[in-house]
Amino acid sequence: MKKRQPDPGSGRDPSDRPLLDKLGVRPGMRVGVFDVEDPEFTAALAERGANIETAPAVELDLAFLMVHEPVDLHRLAELRPLIRSSGAIWVLRVKGPAAAVRDIDVIEAGRHHRLVDNKIASFSDTLAAMRLVIPVGLR
């Protein structure tokens, strides 16, 4: 696999950006975390100044959902109404060819719930993240 070249304008490799920058987390955002058991991630969100919602609330800017099996993707039905029209749901899943949840599973589940994928990111060495958003035509 070819290594990504640094952005000539910035002088740095885009993959070196901090995780929260890749995920689009900004201070003051309303963020929901669902089934993500990562205290360091939650602490980083708080340190960034995100308002972490502990109970489902509407008008979330971002929601993070960890899925372990394809059946877990049914949670998109309950999360979609919680995000703002310009918000996003990041679906986290285990990386690799033997992973129970594949990219195509997330894409198809998103379409089923009237969401489209528009970005992927490496969440960690073992987890991948895919961002699902409400299509512009439905906002």
pLDDT at 75 over 60: yes
Domain ranges for the chain, please list them: 18-134
DSSP string, 48-107: HT-EEESS--SSEEEEEEE-SSGGGGGGHHHHGGGEEEEEEEEEEEE-STT-SS-HHHHH
- Does the reported pTM lie above 0.85? yes
Task: Classify each residue of 91-101 as buried b or exposed e, where b means 16 or more C-beta atoms within 10 Å of its C-beta.
Answer: bbbeeeeeeeb
The mean pLDDT value of the chain amounts to: 90
10-34 pLDDT tens trace? 455 556 789 999 999 999 999 999 9
**For residue 15, what pLDDT is reported?**
66
CATH number of 18-134: 3.40.50.150
Distance CA(72)–CA(24), nearest Å, equals 24
Confidence of residue 9 (pLDDT cuts 50, 70, 90): low
35-74 pLDDT tens trace? 999 999 999 999 999 999 877 778 999 999 999 999 999 9
Confidence of residue 3 (pLDDT cuts 50, 70, 90): very low
- Are the C-beta atoms of residues 97 and 46 closer than 8 Å to each other? no
77-95 pLDDT tens trace? 999 999 999 999 999 999 9
The contacts of residue 24 (CB under 8 Å, 6+ apart) are 62, 88, 131
Say which amino acid occupies 113.
Answer: H
